[in-house]
Chains A and B, each alone.
Chain A
Amino acid sequence: MSDSKNEQQRLMGVFALTQTKMLKATEQQTRFFRPRRFLILIVLLFFFCLTVSVFFGSENLNFTDLTNLEKAILFDVRLPRIFLGASVGASLALAGASLQSLLRNPLADPYLLGVSSGAALGTMLAFVFFTNLEFTHPILAFIGASTATFTVYQMAKSKAGMNVERLALSGVIVTTLLSSIIVLFTSLLDATKLRSFTFWLLGDLSQGTKNGFYIVLISAILGGAILFSQAKALNLMMIGEKDAFDFGVEVEKVRLIVFVTSAFLVGVSVSSSGSVGYVGLIIPHLIRLSVGSDNRFVLPFSAIAGATFIVFADMIARTVIAPRELPVGAITALIGAPMFIYLLKRS
C-alpha cells in the first residue's frame, strides 16, 4: 500500500518536474533575455564596437602621440563617420521595426515598400541637379521616400480596405519602376560621378560629411521619439488592424504617423549613406527573438542594435582591403543575407 503511495508521489514529482521544464522551455521559446539584462548587454556591445572601431581604419593611428594630420583624420573623418554609421543604423532599424508591426509582416522592410528607392531617386536628382547644395539632398530624399510611400499606400488601398499582400505587391512594383528610373539617370552621369554614385547606391558611409551626420543624428532622435510614442498602439496594430480599432487605436492616424516618420528616417539616412540593406530586416527580427514583440522594447533596442551593426560592418568595410574600402552595404548584405536565410528556415 505504502509502496504504491510512494510510487504515486514519485510519479507526481516527475509530472511536476516535467511541467516546470515545459513551462521553462516555453518561456525560453518566447524570449531569451529579460529586457533589462538585454539592454545592458547591447549597450555594452555598442560601446565596445564604438571603441574598437575608433582604433581601426585604413590609416593606423598612433594614439599615444597624435600628429596634427592624425588628429584631423580622427576628429574630422573617422569619428564623424562612426557616429554617422550609428545614426544611420538606428534610423533604418527603427523604420524597419515599426513598419513590420504596422503591416503585421515580419518580413516588411523599407526596401520592400519602395521607401528606400524613393529616397535614392530623390537623392539622385539632388546629386545631378544641385550637386553643391548639400542641404537639398536629405530634403529631396525625404520627398522621394514620402512620395514612394504614399504611392504604394494609395495603390494598395481599395474600397474593401488595405491588405498586406496588396501592399507588398504595390511596393515591389514601385521599387522596380524607381530602380529603372535611377538606372536611366546614371547613364547621364560622367565616369567619376558614376563610380561614386554606384558606390553610394550600394550603401557607403565614406561620402558622409559632418553636417550630414548632424542631420541624420537629429532625425534619428526625433523620429525615434515619435515612433516610440506610437509603440503601444503598434502593439495592437501588430495583432490586427480590426483588433486595434476595436480596442481604441485610431488606426488611420497611427498608420499616417508611422509611414511619414519611417519615410523621414529612411530618406535622411539614404541621402547621406545610400541604400544600406538588411539592417531594417535582420535587427528587429533578432531583437524580437531575444526579448519578445513588445514594441516598447523592440523599438529602442533595435535602434541600439542597428547602430552597433552598422558601426561593426563599417569597421570591416574600412579595414578588410585597406587602404581601399568596400561599401558598407556590401558587408551588411554579406552578414545579413545568410542570417536572414537561417532565420527564415528556423521560423
Chain B
Amino acid sequence: MLLEVEKISVGYNGLPVVKDVSFSLERGKILALLGANGSGKSTLLKALNSSLPLMKGKISIEGRHLQSLTRREIAKKIAVVAQETETKFPITVLEFILTGRFAHSSVFGWETPKDLQIAHECMKLCNLEGYETRLMNRLSGGERQRAVLARALATQAQMLLLDEPTNNLDLSHQALTFRLIKQRCQNCDSAAIVITHDLNLASEFADEIILLTNGTILAKGTPREVLTQENLQKAFNVEVLLDQNPISKNLRITTIY
C-alpha cells in the first residue's frame, strides 16, 4: 500500500473541516476526490501533503508516518499540482520546471545533466517542447497549468496530489493531463489523488472515487459504485442522467437542468 489514511480529522482554528476520514491507495491507481464546494476536498489534500497539522488520526506513506518525515523527504515522495501559480518575477519555463528537482539536489550548486534531462522529458510529455526560454508570466492559463504539471512530474515523486489540474485547460489538454497521470501511475508504480469537478473525467480515468460531503466520506469505491443517482443527489443536490459512454463503455453523467 502506498498511502494509508487512518481516521484523520483536519481543520482550521480548532474546528474540524474533514472528520474521521480513512482510506488507502495502492500503487498504480488514480483516486478522484469529488464533492461540492466546501466539502473539504482541498483541506484533505493539504493534510495529505502535511501543509495542515492533523487534529486526529495518522497518515503513512510507503509505510512511514508522514509526521516523522522532513520537508525534503516529503517533497521527494509527494508532488503537488496546485490550482494557481502566479509568478511576479521573470522566470523561464525551464527554470520553473527545474524547481521541481529541489528536493533531490544539494543545498549548493547547479542542476546536474540528469536534472536537465528529466526536466526536458517532462516538458515533452506535457506538450511544452520549445517553451524552455518562454517566461512563465507571459504564458496562457492553460500553458501555465501544463508547466505546473510538468514540474510535479519532474519531482519523480511516487504520490501525485492534484487540485483541479484541468482548470484552464482546453478539451484536448484535459484528456492529455489525465492520460499522463494514468500513464505515470501505471509505468512508475505511482499513485495519484485528483480533485476534480468533472464527473465524466473522473468516471473515465479514476480507478477509485471518494465522494465527500461536509467533511465526511459519503461513498467510496469504483466509479460505478460511487456515481449513483442517489449519491450524486445527496452530494450535489442535482438530478443526473446516468448512461454508458458508447465508446469507452464507462459511466456517463449528464446533469438535468
Interface residues of A (CB under 8 A from B): 23, 26-27, 29-30, 101, 104-106, 159, 228-229, 232-233, 235-236, 238-240, 242-243, 245-250, 288, 292-294, 296
Stretch at the interface among B54-62, B98-106, B167-175: B98-106
Question: Given the interface contacts A240-B86, A242-B51, A246-B49, does A26 sit within 8 Å of B133 by beta carbon?
Answer: yes
Interface residues of B (CB under 8 A from A): 13, 49, 51, 70-72, 74-76, 79-80, 82, 85-92, 95-96, 99-100, 102-103, 105, 107-108, 110, 130, 133-135, 138, 151, 155
Pairs A–B under 8 Å by Cβ, sample size 25: A26-B133, A26-B135, A30-B134, A106-B88, A106-B89, A235-B95, A236-B99, A236-B102, A238-B87, A238-B89, A238-B91, A239-B85, A242-B51, A243-B85, A245-B51, A247-B75, A247-B99, A247-B103, A247-B151, A248-B72, A248-B74, A248-B76, A250-B71, A292-B91, A293-B90
Determine if B80 and A229 form an interchain contact, defined as CB atoms under 8 angstroms apart: no
Contacts of B138 in A (CB 8 A): 26
Determine if B103 and A248 form an interchain contact, defined as CB atoms under 8 angstroms apart: yes
**Which B residue's beta carbon lies closest to that of A347?**
B90
Determine if B71 and A29 form an interchain contact, defined as CB atoms under 8 angstroms apart: no
Contacts of B85 in A (CB 8 A): 239-240, 243
CA of A159 to CA of B79 in the docked complex: distance in angstroms?
Answer: 26
Question: Given the interface contacts A240-B85, A243-B85, does A248 sit within 8 Å of B90 by beta carbon?
Answer: no
Contacts of A243 in B (CB 8 A): 82, 85, 99
Contacts of A245 in B (CB 8 A): 51, 71
Determine if B95 and A246 form an interchain contact, defined as CB atoms under 8 angstroms apart: no
Contacts of B95 in A (CB 8 A): 235, 292-294
Determine if A292 and B75 form an interchain contact, defined as CB atoms under 8 angstroms apart: no
**Which A residue's beta carbon lies closest to that of B76?**
A248
Determine if B102 and A248 form an interchain contact, defined as CB atoms under 8 angstroms apart: yes
Determine if A239 and B82 form an interchain contact, defined as CB atoms under 8 angstroms apart: no
Question: Given the interface contacts A27-B133, A30-B133, A238-B89, does A249 sit within 8 Å of B82 by beta carbon?
Answer: no
Contacts of A288 in B (CB 8 A): 89-90
Q: In the complex, how many angstroms separate the beta carbon of A20 from the nearest chain B beta carbon?
A: 11
Contacts of A228 in B (CB 8 A): 108
CA of A249 to CA of B80 in the docked complex: distance in angstroms?
Answer: 13
Determine if B102 and A249 form an interchain contact, defined as CB atoms under 8 angstroms apart: yes
CA of A249 to CA of B96 in the docked complex: distance in angstroms?
Answer: 15
CA of A188 to CA of B151 in the docked complex: distance in angstroms?
Answer: 59
**Which A residue's beta carbon lies closest to that of B98?**
A235
Contacts of A235 in B (CB 8 A): 95, 99
Q: In the complex, how many angstroms separate the beta carbon of A243 from the nearest chain B beta carbon?
A: 6
Determine if B135 and A247 form an interchain contact, defined as CB atoms under 8 angstroms apart: no
**Which B residue's beta carbon lies closest to that of A236?**
B99
Q: A-B pairs with the 6 shortest C-beta distances?
A: A248-B75, A248-B103, A246-B80, A293-B89, A248-B72, A27-B133
Highest count of chain A CB atoms <10 Å: which of B13, B89, B105? B89
CA of A26 to CA of B92 in the docked complex: distance in angstroms?
Answer: 10
Determine if A229 and B108 form an interchain contact, defined as CB atoms under 8 angstroms apart: yes
CA of A29 to CA of B136 in the docked complex: distance in angstroms?
Answer: 12
* The residue from A23, A104, A239, A248 contacting B133, defined by CB atoms under 8 A apart: A23
Contacts of A233 in B (CB 8 A): 102
Determine if B99 and A239 form an interchain contact, defined as CB atoms under 8 angstroms apart: yes
Contacts of B76 in A (CB 8 A): 248
Contacts of A249 in B (CB 8 A): 71, 102
CA of A242 to CA of B79 in the docked complex: distance in angstroms?
Answer: 12
Determine if A296 and B102 form an interchain contact, defined as CB atoms under 8 angstroms apart: no
Determine if B105 and A239 form an interchain contact, defined as CB atoms under 8 angstroms apart: no
CA of A292 to CA of B132 in the docked complex: distance in angstroms?
Answer: 13
Determine if A246 and B82 form an interchain contact, defined as CB atoms under 8 angstroms apart: yes
Determine if B90 and A26 form an interchain contact, defined as CB atoms under 8 angstroms apart: no
Q: In the complex, how many angstroms separate the beta carbon of A180 from the nearest chain B beta carbon?
A: 32
Highest count of chain A CB atoms <10 Å: which of B99, B134, B138? B99
